[in-house]
Amino acid sequence: MEAVKKIEVITNSLELPKVLEILEKYGVSGYTVIETVTGKGHRGKVIDDLETHILTNGYVMSICTEAQEQALVEAIQPVIKKYGGVCIVSDAKWTAH
């Protein structure tokens, strides 16, 4: 089992392509995207009954090496500051590849 970092990003759906671009730039080629996620945070409740995709949130989950973590987080921070969001990094073990 290889020790890795799990990166989870929740941000405005308009910013999802930018997050994916950052992952690719730093050598992370695999990810999962879930569009139109709902929840509640310090900015209030996000609902999915809007007619437009512009104001919804999206979720990206990926795995990176410990060496990639800092650069990824630094590159993602300006994206989530623009429209709000969160970037969560946790320890993980890669058991299947």
> Could you tell me the CA-to-CA distances from 55 to 18, 83, 92 in Å, in that order?
16, 10, 31
How far from the centroid of its chain's Cα atoms is residue 4's Cα?
16
For the segment 72-82, what is each residue's pLDDT rounded down to a tens digit? 999 999 999 88
Task: Identify the residue whose tokens are 């990824």.
Answer: 72
What's the predicted TM-score (pTM) here?
A: 0.84
Mean pLDDT of 59-67: 95
Sheet holding 31-37: strands in order across?
31-37, 57-64, 2-12, 85-94
Q: What is the pLDDT of residue 25?
A: 96
The DSSP symbol for 53 reads: S
